[in-house]
Structure 1
Amino acid sequence: MKSKIALLLVALMLIASISAGCTSSQTQAPAEQPKTETPATPAEQPAAGEPVKVGAILPLSGSAAATGVKLKYAIEVAQEIINGEHPEIALPLAETMGLTNLGNATVEVVFSDHQGNPEIAKTEAERLIQNEGVVSLIGAYQSSSTKPASQSAERFKIPFVAGSSSSAALTERGLKYFTRIAPNDDMETEVFFEYLKYLNQETGANIKTVGVVYIDNEYGVHAAEMVDKWIEEKYGAEGFEKVVAVKYPTDVTSVDTEVQQIKAANPDALFHASYIGDITQFVKKYKEFEFTPKAVVNYCGGFQDSQFVVNLNKDGDFFSGGAACAPTLFDTMEVVNQINELFKVKSGGENIDGPALEEFASLMVVADAINQAKSTDGDAIMEVIRTAKFDAPYFSTGAVQFNEKGQNIYSASFIVQTQDAQYQAVYPTDIQTAKPVAPFPAWTQR
């Protein structure tokens, strides 16, 4: 009897084993048919109802925190436009809620503070990618932080769209997953020299000698190098000469020595690569030491922050620099005016500035690319970013499109000058809202 029971148990086990084997074969069968289309993986397609995460690395503390907060506001405005319904704004993704090609998935921006520290920017980029699951990165404003963060993104094959970082070297590294919306300092330097030529013709300023004042980081060093490059390649032959270069530390607390050095060289014009706290110190010392150049042009950075005129009022008049927007043009550019109204709600009434608008653009471009790709796969997104021409009616150029190096070929940059504590577009003449003032009036005559 026992042997019969044992035989029965063995038979049952064999049947169970065969059944289990059939089940396994049935579940694995699709994998053995290569022609069968497999569903998208979570990395390529978000699960229903899940947001698409984009990481934004910004200086939300440290010396550039005030600027970083404004950049955050601009990105939040872009997020609001993408996720809400704004049919009144003529922008891709504004009319409907979310990413229409991904089941109206929302975009969730995960903000991260790099504190103005390149090493923290690198580790935060990796944290956002590995722990937060972001499918793209934007930021980081300061080129010295954008550089390591974008290198981390490259390693993980995650698209990085820089908004306002201007170092020309960023797009010279051969990276496949990096692009930049703002004009670089190479492009800006050429425009600056053309502007000085215009001042000489228009105002008789007779500017011949230039000085360079720059912060000792990725942004400042490369801006200074571009001045040398353009003088050697073109503008030296047209009568311009560099007579002084003053580099200052990133943690500068007093610029007395630097301003004395500048005054001793007495250049006709200054090229400044400085952030808001630095440029504010320099202007105050220029007044204190009674140094009056004929013109000062500023790379994308502190001067473009509207806090410049708040800090200095009319002492900040007649300074100039590259910009992607100016409040005096808002009435003629409906879309940027609508964006500005949303921005003012967050900023307590302050207008959006050029760097903030460029960071706004970075999220709009990323979201549009994800939607066009119909995927959150990094390669699919990057293919769209590399090949598409993005509608950007908030820029004077009306578009964003990247070349083979990742540089936006439609970079919106014109020269603004502060007059009566307002930013006026002064060059080129087709967008001019006021005539430029040059040479600088003496401090005692303001």
Structure 2
Amino acid sequence: MKRTLLAVVAIVLLIAGAGAQDKVIKIGTLFPLTGSVATAGQRCQAAVETIVDIINGIYPDLDLPIAKKAGLLNGYKIELIKADHQGKPDVAKSEAERLYEQEGVFAVIGSYNSSASKPASAVAERLQKIFMCGASSSAALTERGLQYFFRLAPTDRIENVEFAHWIEELNKVKAAGIKTAAVIYENTEFGKHAADEAKVVSAKMGVKIVADVPFTPGATNLNSEIQKLKAARPDALFAAVLGADYSLMIRTMKQSAWKPKMAINYCGGYQDPKIAEQMGKDGWGFMGSAGYTPEFGSRFMKAVAPVEKYYKAKVGVPFDTEKVAQVLRTTTFDSPLSMGGKVQFGPDGQNIKAASVISQLQNGSYVTVYPYEFKDGDPIFPMPNW
């Protein structure tokens, strides 16, 4: 939720300085509102709608510049035009074309799935339009030399470095004995890139990859995949699994009576509180990266909590694109809603101030376990048996 809110804030603050002739600023949203990761897509959409409500209204209880008066530039309102890419790259491409060319949006925010963000942002680049990416984590997205693509969230490469530090710390402090690992990942842009990065960082740590297990997203069962993992007996599991597939993975692990010493997840099903609630105790003990959790926000990101209250209640514009893109490329922005506190895009469009922590689901709450300056609890290690 937080990363999607940041995407909206970044765009509207920049548009505010670009000037407009009409009283409406049209922004497109492109998320998976249906399909296997619809829960995540709907939460992203709700996040955008929340911040737009705040921009268009007056919310004196919020400590945000955009909440102090209605609209931007003395009354310009944001109008959202939403689209559903269903988790399908071809649909993402066609919907991006519709949003830019038919709906006349100034910018698009999307698209959760890296495999959808890739073709949709290629459309933006061809049309020389802004594409603001809140959460897609494939590092390859900012290695294409694009000029109009900007991403706020950490990449899977950044997350893997953090995972490596955490595994090394566990080996040192808890004598964890993590010497082998396995990877399970959806066979998509996101999954394949996350798995490749996991292999690279494992090699640097001297951790041997003993199983490499891809699967087709939206699978009806993962029995053979989990059996392969169980047979390999890895100490640690890297998982790049989204939405309903994440729930299926955990249920299948339980049915197979198997857990590694630790399982650590990239952005995906692990981060979704709705899925965590659905899984109940079965989801406890799993770890993953997190750019925001409600528990972390209440301690370190005070400006987010009142915004989240509003968020939970929901669950052709002739701007100068070149000027807005140039400001995005050359300015460092204060960001009270982000963990890094600042937003600064590098030459590749990646937010170099992006930050995340490693959390573990314990007793239904996301407990920050690393880095230590942010910890609010100790890790449960190894993971308890079912």
After TM superposition, the score normalised by the length of structure 2 is 0.92
Matches within 5 A, 1:187-202: 187-202=158-173
1:168 counterpart residue number: 139
- Does residue 414 (structure 1) correspond to residue 357 (structure 2)? The answer is yes
1:430 counterpart residue number: 373
1:390 counterpart residue number: 333
2:32 counterpart residue number: 59
Q: Deviation string for 1:64-100 (max 9, x for gaps)?
A: 1111111111111110121112233232322122122
Distance in 2 separating the partners of 1:439 and 1:302:
21
Q: Deviation string for 1:314-358 (max 9, x for gaps)?
A: 1111101000112222332221101111111112xxxxxxxxxxx
1:281 counterpart residue number: 248
Letter in 2 for 1:67: A
Aligned counterpart in structure 1 of residue 212 of structure 2, from 232, 245, 255: 245
1:230 counterpart residue number: 201
Letter in 1 for 2:261: K
CA deviation after TM superposition for structure 1 residue 169, in Å: 0.5
Matches within 5 A, 1:132-171: 132-171=103-142
CA deviation after TM superposition for structure 1 residue 252, in Å: 1.0
State the secondary structure of the residue aligned to 1:141: coil
Q: Deviation string for 1:113-134 (max 9, x for gaps)?
A: 0111101101111111111110
1:91 counterpart residue number: 64
Structure 1 unaligned residues grouped into runs of 5+: 1-43, 348-369
Letter in 2 for 1:87: P
Letter in 2 for 1:382: A
Aligned counterpart in structure 2 of residue 206 of structure 1, from 172, 177, 181: 177
Letter in 2 for 1:92: P
CA deviation after TM superposition for structure 1 residue 377, in Å: 1.6
- Does residue 73 (structure 1) correspond to residue 46 (structure 2)? The answer is yes
Aligned counterpart in structure 2 of residue 290 of structure 1, from 250, 257, 262: 257
1:47 counterpart residue number: 21
CA deviation after TM superposition for structure 1 residue 309, in Å: 1.7
Letter in 2 for 1:94: A
Range that drifts further, 338-347 or 84-93: 84-93
CA deviation after TM superposition for structure 1 residue 250, in Å: 1.8
Q: Deviation string for 1:126-185 (max 9, x for gaps)?
A: 111111110111100000000000000001110111000000110000000001111001
State the secondary structure of the residue aligned to 1:438: coil
CA deviation after TM superposition for structure 1 residue 111, in Å: 0.7
Letter in 2 for 1:156: L
1:272 counterpart residue number: 239
Q: Kindly indicate whether the alpha-carbon contact (under 8 Å) linking 1:92 and 1:391 is maintained by their aligned counterparts in 2.
A: no
Distance in 1 separating the partners of 2:64 and 2:351:
19
State the secondary structure of the residue aligned to 2:183: strand
State the secondary structure of the residue aligned to 1:303: helix
Distance in 2 separating the partners of 1:258 and 1:46:
53
1:14 counterpart residue number: none
Aligned counterpart in structure 1 of residue 267 of structure 2, from 300, 304, 326: 300
Distance in 1 separating the partners of 2:63 and 2:353:
19
Letter in 2 for 1:223: A
Range that drifts further, 134-143 or 328-337: 328-337
State the secondary structure of the residue aligned to 2:270: coil
Distance in 2 separating the partners of 1:322 and 1:330:
15
State the secondary structure of the residue aligned to 1:93: helix
CA deviation after TM superposition for structure 1 residue 230, in Å: 2.1
Structure 2 unaligned residues grouped into runs of 5+: 1-17
State the secondary structure of the residue aligned to 2:185: strand
Query: Hey, which bits of structure 1, 4+ residues long, moved more than 4 A?
Result: none
1:5 counterpart residue number: none
Distance in 2 separating the partners of 1:194 and 1:330:
23
State the secondary structure of the residue aligned to 1:166: coil
Which structure has the larger Rg?
A: 1
Aligned counterpart in structure 1 of residue 88 of structure 2, from 109, 117, 129: 117
Range that drifts further, 257-266 or 279-288: 279-288
Letter in 2 for 1:134: V
2:97 counterpart residue number: 126
Distance in 1 separating the partners of 2:80 and 2:179:
47
Percent of matched pairs sharing the same residue: 40
After TM superposition, the score normalised by the length of structure 1 is 0.80
Letter in 2 for 1:284: R
Q: Kindly indicate whether the alpha-carbon contact (under 8 Å) linking 1:271 and 1:296 is maintained by their aligned counterparts in 2.
A: yes
Q: Kindly indicate whether the alpha-carbon contact (under 8 Å) linking 1:276 and 1:307 is maintained by their aligned counterparts in 2.
A: no
CA-based RMSD: 1.5
Number of aligned residue pairs: 367
State the secondary structure of the residue aligned to 1:315: helix
Aligned counterpart in structure 2 of residue 340 of structure 1, from 298, 308, 329: 308
CA deviation after TM superposition for structure 1 residue 45, in Å: 5.1
Distance in 1 separating the partners of 2:120 and 2:265:
25
Distance in 1 separating the partners of 2:64 and 2:341:
11
Letter in 2 for 1:255: L
Range that drifts further, 164-173 or 304-313: 304-313
CA deviation after TM superposition for structure 1 residue 307, in Å: 2.0
